[in-house]
Structure 1
Amino acid sequence: MTIRAVVFDFGGVLFDWSPQHLYRKLIADDVERQWFLDTICTQDWNTEQDAGRSLAEATRTLITQYPEHKALIQAYYERWPEMLRAELPEGVAILEALHQVEMPLFGLTNWSAETFPYARANYPFLQRFRNIVVSGELKLIKPDPAIYHASLSQVREHLPDIQASEVVFIDDVAGNIEAAIALGWQGIHHVSAERTATRLRELGVAF
Structure 2
Amino acid sequence: MKQIDTIIFDLGGVLIDWNPEYLYLKVFNGNREKMQWFFDNICTSDWNENQDAGYPLAQATEDRVLLFPEYENEIRMFYGRWVEMLAGEITGTVTILKKLVESRNYKVVALTNWSAETFPIALERFDFLQWFEGIVVSGEEKTRKPFDAIFNLTLNRFNIKAENSIFIDDNLRNIEAAKKLGINGLLFESPDKLYKQLLTFNIYL
Give the TM-score band, short-chain normalised.
Answer: over 0.9
Q: Of residues 110, 118, 128 in structure 2, which corresponds to 1:115?
A: 118
* Displacement after TM superposition at 1:142 (Å): 0.7
CA distance in 1: counterparts of 2:179 and 2:72, whole angstroms: 42
- What residue in structure 2 maps to residue 138 of structure 1? 141
Which consecutive unaligned segments of at least 5 residues does structure 2 have? none
* Displacement after TM superposition at 1:16 (Å): 1.0
AA aligned opposite 1:192: S
Which consecutive unaligned segments of at least 5 residues does structure 1 have? 157-161
| Bigger Cα displacement from structure 2, 76-85 vs 188-197 | 188-197
CA distance in 2: counterparts of 1:132 and 1:47, whole angstroms: 18
- What residue in structure 2 maps to residue 68 of structure 1? 70
- What residue in structure 2 maps to residue 15 of structure 1? 16
CA distance in 2: counterparts of 1:126 and 1:154, whole angstroms: 18
Which SS does the other structure have where 1:13 is aligned?
coil
AA aligned opposite 2:190: S
* 1:155 lines up with 2:158 in the alignment: yes
* Displacement after TM superposition at 1:89 (Å): 0.9
Instruction: Give the aligned length.
Output: 202
* Displacement after TM superposition at 1:35 (Å): 1.4
* Displacement after TM superposition at 1:154 (Å): 2.0
* 1:85 lines up with 2:83 in the alignment: no
Q: Of residues 125, 130, 150 in structure 2, which corresponds to 1:127?
A: 130
- What residue in structure 2 maps to residue 184 of structure 1? 182
Which SS does the other structure have where 2:168 is aligned?
strand
Q: TM-score, normalised by structure 1?
A: 0.94
CA distance in 2: counterparts of 1:97 and 1:202, whole angstroms: 17
- What residue in structure 2 maps to residue 201 of structure 1? 199
Task: Tell me if the contact between 1:131 and 1:154 (Cα under 8 Å) persists in the aligned partners.
Answer: no
Task: Tell me if the contact between 1:108 and 1:151 (Cα under 8 Å) persists in the aligned partners.
Answer: yes
| Bigger Cα displacement from structure 2, 105-114 vs 189-198 | 189-198
* Displacement after TM superposition at 1:120 (Å): 0.5
CA distance in 2: counterparts of 1:33 and 1:163, whole angstroms: 42
Q: Of residues 47, 50, 55 in structure 2, which corresponds to 1:48?
A: 50
AA aligned opposite 1:112: S
- What residue in structure 2 maps to residue 98 of structure 1? 100
AA aligned opposite 1:5: T
| Bigger Cα displacement from structure 2, 196-205 vs 73-82 | 196-205
* Displacement after TM superposition at 1:47 (Å): 0.7
